[in-house]
Amino acid sequence: MRRIYIFLISIIAVNAASSQDWTVLNSGTTKALSSVYFVNVNTGFVSGSNGTILKTINAGATWESLSSGTTKNLNSIYFIDSVTGYTVGSNGTILKTVNGGTTWSNISVTPYSNLSSVYFTDLNKGYTVGSNDTIQKTVNGGMTWTYYDLLYNIVLGSVFFPTADTGYAAGYYWDINMPELVIIRTVNGGISWEMLYEAGLGEFHSIYFTSSNTGYAVSDDGIIFKTTDSGVTWVNQTSGTTNVLFSIFFATENTGYVAGMQGKILKTNNGGTNWGSLSSNTTNSLFSIFFNNVDTGYVVGNSGIILKTINGGGYPVGIVDHFMPSDKLKTYPNPAKDIIKIEISSSKLPSQLFIFNVDGLKLSEQVITNRNLQLDVSGLQKGVYFVKVYNENMIEVGKFIKE
């Protein structure tokens, strides 16, 4: 039988490694960065204040500052492919590139609206949303735009289309004293919009759908809403924070991330049933998050900060099921002195294996490719420890005592 040996070095060294779950990249700017979008694993774009547009072609190792031709704040950026992209911002600014960002054309049409979000469903059809009830649609790649006035007196912060004709926008009723949360929907490609949700104080900042039925929206005070019936009903999930949440993104159907104020990053592995906090090692507010896959992701925010992870952001702390041992994961001998053997029931591999102490501190992390393995625990102090194995499809937890 093939065996895997995982050696636990000192707690100090392992903790230092875990602090690198998110790496600070050199953006070359101190401007506030509002939006991040990658077209493939290597090529990505960032937009921000004062006309800032950045581009990387090496997965974030270096960033090039592009000439946008404007000093307006650029709040959202979206690329259809590696060469065609759009960014929108204050004073109705809409910019388009057809050469991968080398040059940008100003195709703005509504100078009295601040645009917050842009989304395209194909090469020609796209939408922008913003202040003053603004929803704009193009069917010819931005050559012309149709303006829709909803007459709701709302500000829209985010737009998302899970299908070609069905889309959602989230924001708030404009009231300087009591802004009210709002979500609207179209089922006919933006020709008409219906009110789905209007209740509660605050502002929705981001909306994201993982399927035609299942979606999420984030707001102030740590609010995360989820729907499983195409927006007919919305359930407030437990986020574990009261921070303002600015951006939500799902790498898979169940694995999602949220970025917010004061460096807050949240993660779920089970479709939002539980959310845990990741260590971002920054107090800068984070405005946009994007993942290429379950492992590699980026987040941008104030003071030019760009963070990158290559291990799914690390393991979240604070999820309530962290240390609920299951019968599926076997650990023996128990108690153990030097070596423990571990058997997992799931055949879904590779998986990630973690060791925690009773305080919830992560001591080690390892990718495993075998259902039967051994751990050298001789370097651990006497006490109780937890082994957790997880992937997108399962979570198994075991407990052992080190003598």
Q: Which pLDDT band, with edges at 50, 70 and 90, does 1 fall under? A: very low
> Do both 272 and 328 map to the same domain?
no
CATH number reported for the structural domain that contains residue 271 in this entry: 2.130.10.10
Q: What mean pLDDT value characterizes the chain?
A: 88
pLDDT per residue over 318-375, tens digit each? 544 444 555 678 899 999 999 999 998 877 788 888 888 765 667 888 888 888 999 9
Q: What is the pLDDT of residue 80?
A: 97
The larger pLDDT score, comparing residue 172 to residue 345, is at 172
Asked if residue 200 belongs to a domain, the reply is yes
> Do both 251 and 365 map to the same domain?
no
Q: What's the token pair of residue 23?
A: 């790496």
Model confidence at 253: pLDDT above 80: yes
* Segments forming the whole domain that contains residue 390: 5-13+320-402
> Do both 190 and 329 map to the same domain?
no
pLDDT per residue over 60-88, tens digit each? 999 999 999 999 999 999 999 999 999 99
pLDDT per residue over 188-246, tens digit each? 999 999 999 988 889 999 999 999 999 999 999 999 999 999 999 999 999 999 999 99
Asked if residue 314 belongs to a domain, the reply is no
User: Cα 269 to the chain's mean position, in Å?
Assistant: 12
Cα(266)–Cα(315) distance, integer angstroms: 10
Total number of domains constituting the chain: 2
Among 291, 295, 190, 284, smallest CA distance to 246 is for: 284
Cα(228)–Cα(214) distance, integer angstroms: 4
Q: What is the pLDDT of residue 358?
A: 67
Per DSSP, 315 falls in state: P
Asked if residue 203 belongs to a domain, the reply is yes
Model confidence at 3: pLDDT above 50: no
Asked if residue 315 belongs to a domain, the reply is no
DSSP-derived secondary structure for 329-382: SEEESSSBSSEEEEE------SEEEEEEETT--EEEEEEE--SEEEEE-TTSPS
Task: Write the single-letter amino acid at 77.
Answer: I
Q: How many CB atoms lie within 10 A of CB 198?
A: 14
CATH number reported for the structural domain that contains residue 364 in this entry: 2.60.40.3080
Angle at 334 between CA 333 and CA 336, to 5 degrees: 75
> Do both 304 and 324 map to the same domain?
no
Cα(381)–Cα(11) distance, integer angstroms: 10
